[in-house]
Structure 1
Amino acid sequence: MRFTLRQLEVFLATAFHENLTRAADSLAMSQSAASSALRDLESQFDVQLFDRVGKRLQLNELGQTIRTRAQGLIEQAASLETALAQHEDVGHLKVGATLSIGNYLAVEIMARYMVEQPGARVELEVANTATIARKVANFELDIGLIEGEVYHPELDMQHWRDDELVVFCAPDHPWAGKPWLTDAELLKADWIVREPGSGTRQHFEWAMHGLLPELDIKLELQHTEAIKRAVEAGLGIGCLSAITLGDAFRRGSLVPLPVPQRDFRRGFYFVLQKNKFRSAGIQRWIQMCREAVPGAGE
């Protein structure tokens, strides 16, 4: 093999920091050692991976091409090192989840994973779909659990489970108890919905095709609980995942509004970096998520 893992680490750190001194510091190396490693990597293959722009080292087209593959190799090596050092295959995970999944599904799965794997840690980051997808693509997260589909050339999408959005209102709203809402009534409503970039908002807009330009979006909020409280207060009607509304419907603090002419069905997905090594921990996490789906295996 004509390159070393250390050379790849220097290459990746330099790509991230765009500065050799900061890259060396992040790897606890001297600047001269880091410079020598990067120079040797380029000279061994007679290539240039960076453009020198003032004091910055900016990845050129070739550097961009090999960056994700190099990151994948480093991830595999780190996973092997962990397994050898700890004598185990399943361990620490960095998981990203969208708000509905993170608040209503992922915590329980995380608890089961940590009980099953004593000493294992799971870092859970909750954000919207666009943020989770970006962080998985950049190797900042091991796996993402997202609502709806995204396209990215470096991401692998796998269906996890089905979901459905539900339109709802306060129990004292004039429409509470209606057998269904017509499209004309949807256009009259004051809507309280998730922010752009969220999977819930994405599918809400798909379901409302043909009506979207005329809908009255009164509030856009980042948190499902804030939307539920605003609807309870009579500020308008909302549309959220069914998994977030079960308790409120059982209590009677919110009531569903059927809209049979609109398709609110959607999926939850696993999202992974195509070049990332699928460790035993990642595979076990996916398996536990599938086992948690109601009716799975029946």
Structure 2
Amino acid sequence: MRFTLRQLEVFLAVAHHQSISRAADELVMSQSAVSGSLKELEQKHSAQLFDRVGKRLQLNELGARLRPSCEALLVQAAELEQEFTQQRRASEIRVGATLTVGNYLCVELIDRYRQRTGEGRVHLEVANTRHIVRELLDFNIDLGMIEGEVQHPDLDVIPWQSDELVCICAPAHHLAATGELGIDEIGEVAWILREPGSGTRQTFERALRGYLSQLNISLELQHTEAIKRAVQANMGVSCLSRIAVADALKRGDLVELAAPALDLHRQLYVILHRQKYLSAGLRTWLAVCGVAPR
């Protein structure tokens, strides 16, 4: 074998950071040691894995093709080492979740995961759908849980569970008395919405496809809780996941507006890179979510 696991670790760290110095910091190595290890790996195989652009290293086509296999090999090597030493170390996974899933569903999932794995650790990153997809494609996270619809040849998109959006307003809003949002009122009210790129915004725009030009969007906010507070302050109406507003509706802080003309149902998804190795930790997480691995 003409490579070492350490050389693969160096390759993956440089691919992630696109920088020798930042890879050296992560691996607690000198920059010269990282550079030498990468150079030896390339020379032994007569292969160039990066394009050098100034001080930045950009993964080339060959490097991008080898990256998933190298990552999978290192994960399997770590699992094998645990078997040799007969240690059941905590399984660590990196999960990326969109805001509704991350803020309102993932805590319970993490608790169930820890119960199954003992002290299994979950590194949770919460962002919008567009960001989670980018992180998954770059192998910065192991798995994504999203609200938006995604189509990409490198991703497995697995239906997880159903959800629906609801239109909401403050108890003091003039629509609260009727509890309904009619077609004529869609263009009259001030809307407070999630930012473009979020799954919630994607579902909302699909439901209002024929009325988008009529919308009066007064605010676009990245955080669901901020939107809820703005709506409670009677700054406008919004459309959010029922999961996110259930408690506020129950308390009476918000009022649901029926919108029979709009289809606000959607699907939540688990997404995986097609070349991602399914470690024991990932398989356990999928089981906790009730999702069958591919």
Which band: TM-score by shorter chain? 0.7 to 0.9
Partner of 2:215: 215
- In structure 2, C-alpha distance between the alignment counterparts of 1:24 and 1:38, rounded to whole Å: 11
- In structure 2, C-alpha distance between the alignment counterparts of 1:230 and 1:55, rounded to whole Å: 45
Partner of 1:183: 183
- In structure 2, C-alpha distance between the alignment counterparts of 1:263 and 1:116, rounded to whole Å: 38
1:250 matched to 2:250: yes
Partner of 2:200: 200
**Where in structure 2 are the equivalents of 1:117-128 lying within 5 Å?**
117-128=117-128
Alignment check: 8 A CA contact 2:95 2:123 kept: yes
Q: Provide the secondary structure at the position in 1 that maps to 2:176.
A: coil
Partner of 1:114: 114
Structure 1 residues 92 and 50, CA gap change in structure 2 (3 angstroms): closer
Partner of 1:97: 97
* Structure 2 residue identity aligned to 1:102: G
- In structure 1, C-alpha distance between the alignment counterparts of 2:183 and 2:135, rounded to whole Å: 38
Alignment check: 8 A CA contact 1:18 1:58 kept: yes
- In structure 2, C-alpha distance between the alignment counterparts of 1:81 and 1:72, rounded to whole Å: 14
Alignment check: 8 A CA contact 1:90 1:280 kept: no
Partner of 1:75: 75
| Alpha-carbon offset, residue 21 of structure 1 | 5.5
- In structure 1, C-alpha distance between the alignment counterparts of 2:10 and 2:86, rounded to whole Å: 26
| Alpha-carbon offset, residue 160 of structure 1 | 0.6
Superimposed CA distance per residue, residues 207-229 of structure 1 (whole angstroms, 9 cap, x where no aligned partner): 11021122011111122222112
- In structure 1, C-alpha distance between the alignment counterparts of 2:212 and 2:54, rounded to whole Å: 48
Partner of 1:296: none
Structure 1 residues 34 and 230, CA gap change in structure 2 (3 angstroms): closer
| Alpha-carbon offset, residue 96 of structure 1 | 2.1
| Alpha-carbon offset, residue 162 of structure 1 | 0.4
Structure 1 residues 93 and 190, CA gap change in structure 2 (3 angstroms): same
Structure 1 residues 28 and 232, CA gap change in structure 2 (3 angstroms): closer
Superimposed CA distance per residue, residues 170-204 of structure 1 (whole angstroms, 9 cap, x where no aligned partner): 22322124364332211111101111221111111
- In structure 1, C-alpha distance between the alignment counterparts of 2:155 and 2:231, rounded to whole Å: 36
| Alpha-carbon offset, residue 91 of structure 1 | 1.9
Structure 1 residues 29 and 181, CA gap change in structure 2 (3 angstroms): closer
- In structure 1, C-alpha distance between the alignment counterparts of 2:189 and 2:17, rounded to whole Å: 49
1:261 matched to 2:261: yes
- In structure 2, C-alpha distance between the alignment counterparts of 1:90 and 1:52, rounded to whole Å: 38
- In structure 2, C-alpha distance between the alignment counterparts of 1:246 and 1:27, rounded to whole Å: 45
TM-score by length of 2: 0.87
Q: Provide the secondary structure at the position in 1 that maps to 2:181.
A: coil
- In structure 2, C-alpha distance between the alignment counterparts of 1:17 and 1:172, rounded to whole Å: 51
1:229 matched to 2:194: no
Unaligned runs of 5+ in 2: none
Partner of 1:46: 46
Partner of 2:165: 165
* Structure 1 residue identity aligned to 2:259: V
Structure 1 residues 123 and 61, CA gap change in structure 2 (3 angstroms): closer
